[in-house]
Chain A
Amino acid sequence: MTRSRDDGMFRFTTAAFAAVVLLIVIAIGVELWRQSFLSIEKFGLHFWTGTIWNPVSGQFGALPFIWGTLYSSILALIIATPISLGIAVFISELSPQMLRQPLTYLTELLAAIPSIVYGLWGIFVLTPIVRKLELAVPDPLKKLPLFSGPPLGVGMGTAALILAIMVVPFTSSVAREILKNVPMAQREAAYALGSTRWEAIKVALGYGKSGIIGAVMLGFGRALGETMAVTMVIGNNPQVSASLFAPQYTMAAVIANEFTEAADELYLHALIEIGLLLFIITIAVNALSRLFIWSMQKRTGRTVILRPAAIEEVAA
């Protein structure tokens, strides 16, 4: 009798704490909306299409930031995806057993280095290197919109590179987990039909396709919200440009730089509205990536365990 009551108490108490986690996520959304309504009401949809950001005259158009965030994240994805998949394939399919653990650990270590350290390294080491590369771009290529503008070093290209480095551990760890969950029989069947090793790997990748897409999207979600390292190398200039050389700005960076300077309420609400959009986009991207991974899970009937990177270090 008391035993079942005790068990109920235990269940209820721990559930209450679990509910707090749920409440926090809801509260973040509500709070962001509450703190940005001035800007939402005043500008409506123009906020998202306006290209002029001038706090002094009270003009707030967020398009350059949205562009900067999406462009830098997509560029980072283009660089990081092949590398991440290569790492996942190497560790789970090709590497000698002995190397697996250390390689996993080392790639995870990339996720453990603080953003600010990436930023510091970006300013003093990567930026000068990128500037040299930009100077080396031959003149005919400079006519392309991708390489137009003066070679400053800081700008979209450097930001995309830093982001790519930071995203690799996230994508590769999920992709590795996906490959681990592809049934061995898939590869064996391929070998039995006379496949080479690479062809068998392609079969495994094909089987895990939706999971792999989920892994890539997870990396995308990371890149969208990354703040410090990008702020330090992207140049912080609100403009919509396709050039890799151009100093641009991202949503997270403008919040980091201008939040404490926002003197009037409208300015603050405009910045928080950018935060609200960032919150919605990252949730959508993360949820979508989960859906892809779940559909992979249904197929194999095995649970793909997704861990925050910090845990990967401990439990790997």
Chain B
Amino acid sequence: MRYATRRKIVSRVAEALCAVAVLLALLPLVLILFYVLKEGAGALNLAFFTQMPKPVGETGGGMANAIVGTLILIGLAGVFAVPIGCLCGIHLAEYPETRFSSVVRFAADVLNGVPSIVVGIFAYGLVVLPFKRFSAIAGGVALGLLMIPIVVRMTEELLRLVPSGLREGALALGATRGRAVFTVIVPAALPGILTGILVALARVAGETAPLLFTSFNNRFWSLDVTQPMASLTVQVFTYAISPYDDWHRQAWAGAFLLVMIILALSIMARLAVRRLERMNRG
């Protein structure tokens, strides 16, 4: 009897500890979001979006060039990664069982696990060294490489969510494989894939390490993709390790903006997938 009671108590305690583990993980999440909101929202103003960085020592100014820079960089990344990622994902979804597909899937997993700083070195050797200059293109390539595995797996999974009846219907009507994929299956999964791409873009928009020696940084307004370009993340890094209070304030504002973009996109993506799942069931 006493032994049984002890076992029950042990069970209860262990269950409670699991709940504590959840709280322990949520605590930093809450703390980070709280500080980003507290320090960041207050520091955000119109000047942050419209003005250029002020010279050292002057307060005020903003990150207009870095915001535009980040948009250009992730745009370049998308142009580079989306065609490769989507077509690769389509191949994996259409021919899931072949040996080639499992090798490619493994390669995508490996690429997903490669530290972003190493991907940065690769982009440096690929684009910066031959042209002897830091450039937005190099940064875009680095971010694109990081995006590819996410887009690949996302496309594959979402295509598999499409009801098989749709594919069978298209094939029964005499459509070729390619036609069935591009006119029936991909359009059915398109809202999911598009938001998935947005999430992947948001993910790489938060990357800093691979940009440090590819797109580098730029204190001036520049839209030239063959020149160094500012980005929100590198700017936040530069400001965070600086000794100036006003720069710290702006670093928090930049972090706030990044987190908001990521939250908004991830919520949008969830809504789109819900819709796809409803379609799948109904």
Q: Which A residues have a C-beta under 8 Å from some C-beta of B?
A: 3, 6-7, 9-11, 13-15, 17-22, 24-25, 27-28, 31-32, 34-35, 82-87, 89-91, 94, 103, 105-107, 109-110, 112-121, 123-125, 165, 168-169, 172, 196-199, 201, 218, 221-222, 224-228, 232, 252, 255-256, 259-260, 272, 275, 278-279, 282-283, 285-287, 290, 305-308, 310-311, 313-315
Once the chains bind, are B110 and A311 in contact (CB under 8 Å)? no
Could you pull out 7 A-B pairs where Cβ atoms are within 8 angstroms? Answer: A21-B108, A87-B22, A116-B206, A119-B237, A199-B7, A283-B114, A315-B273
Task: Give the docked Cα–Cα distance between A283 and B91 (Å).
Answer: 24
State whether B206 touches A115 (Cβ < 8 A).
yes
Beyond A15-B91, A232-B241, whether A308 also contacts B112 by CB under 8 A is yes
Partner of A259, one of B115, B177, B192, B212: B212
The complex places the Cα of A35 from the Cα of B43 at a distance, in Å, of: 43
Q: Are B122 and A27 in contact (CB under 8 A)?
A: yes
- Interface assignment of B187: CB less than 8 Å from any CB of chain A: no
- Number of B interface residues at 8 Å Cβ cutoff, please give it: 104
In contact, A18 and B104 (Cβ under 8 angstroms): yes
Find out whether the CB atom of B153 lies under 8 angstroms from the CB atom of A308.
yes
CA distance A256 to B211 in the complex (A): 10
Decide if B94 is an interface residue (CB 8 Å cutoff).
yes
* A314 adjacent to B118 (CB under 8 Å): no
List residues of chain B with CB within 8 A of the CB of A31: 121-122, 125-126
Q: Which residues of B contact A307 (CB under 8 A)?
A: 153, 157
Report if B19 contacts A (CB, 8 A): yes
**Residues of the A chain whose Cβ atoms lie less than 8 Å from the Cβ of B109:** 286, 290, 306
- Across the two chains, which residue of chain B brings its CB closest to A260? B213
Q: Which of B46-54, B58-66, B193-201, B219-227 contacts A (4 or more CB under 8 A)?
A: B193-201
Interface SS majority for chain A: helix
Report whether B121 and A272 are in contact in the complex, using a CB–CB cutoff of 8 Å. yes
Q: How far is the CA of A116 from the CA of B264 in the complex (A)?
A: 18
Cα A11 to Cα B94 in complex, Å, equals: 9
User: Which residues of B lie under 8 Å from residue A107 when comparing CB positions?
Assistant: 22, 25-26, 29
List residues of chain B with CB within 8 A of the CB of A125: 31, 35
Q: Are A117 and B255 in contact (CB under 8 A)?
A: yes
* Chain A residues, Cβ within 8 Å of B125: 31-32, 34-35, 272
- How many contacting A-B pairs (Cβ < 8 A)? 293
Residues of B within 8 A of A (CB): 7-8, 10-12, 14-15, 17-22, 24-26, 28-29, 31-32, 35-36, 39, 83-84, 87-88, 90-92, 94-95, 100-101, 103-104, 106-119, 121-122, 124-126, 129, 145, 148-150, 152-154, 157-158, 174, 176-179, 181, 192, 195-196, 199-200, 202-203, 205-209, 212-213, 216, 233, 236-237, 240-241, 248, 251-252, 255, 258-259, 262-263, 266, 269-270, 272-273
> Are B32 and A118 in contact (CB-based, < 8 A)?
yes
Cα A226 to Cα B210 with chains together (Å): 12
In the complex the two chains form, is B213's CB within 8 Å of A18's CB?
A: no
- Taking CB atoms, residues of chain A closer than 8 Å to B269 are 313-314
